[in-house]
């Protein structure tokens, strides 16, 4: 039975190091952008990526232009992020807009079921 995913969960096809990856990874988060529009969140936004212990791994500032869409830039944080080996899923995207509204979404790694083993009979 397939697992049901709610509107507040983003499924990633492969796990990347969110703390070290390039910002272009966030272009694939279509569900996040649609949720920001659904709740009429006002730019600029701040996206904080939190680990399972609520430690901030990364902070990203986003502005939106009509012509170019969302423009993202890393934001310096006062807290030193944990090292990659200490970070365990699930991760949370904590998005705050210019009016102080907060949207929280989970990042979940897609679970791929292994193919069943087939046995071949000798000829």
In a domain, 4, yes or no: no
Reported as a single tens digit per residue, the pLDDT across 27-45 is 557 788 889 999 999 999 9
Paired tokens of 40: 């009429």
Residue listed under structure tokens 């499924």: 11
Q: Is position 59 within any domain?
A: yes
Confidence check: pLDDT of 75 > 60: yes
In a domain, 114, yes or no: no
Here the tokens at position 93 are 């995207």
- pLDDT surpasses 70 at 21: no
Number of domains in the chain: 1
Domain range for 57: 9-109
Domain-embedded: residue 1: no
């Amino acid at each position: 039975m397939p697992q049901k995913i709610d509107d507040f969960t983003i499924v990633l096809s492969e796990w990347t190091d969110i703390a070290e990856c390039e910002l272009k990874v966030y272009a694939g988060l279509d569900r996040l952008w649609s949720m920001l529009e659904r709740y009429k969140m006002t730019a600029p936004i701040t996206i904080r990526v939190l680990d399972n212990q609520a430690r901030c791994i990364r902070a990203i500032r986003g502005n939106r232009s009509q012509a170019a869409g969302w423009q993202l830039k890393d934001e310096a944080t006062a807290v030193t992020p944990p090292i990659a080996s200490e970070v365990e899923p699930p991760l949370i995207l904590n998005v705050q807009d210019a009016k102080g509204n907060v949207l929280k979404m989970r990042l979940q790694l897609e679970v791929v079921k292994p193919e069943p083993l087939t046995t071949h009979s000798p000829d």
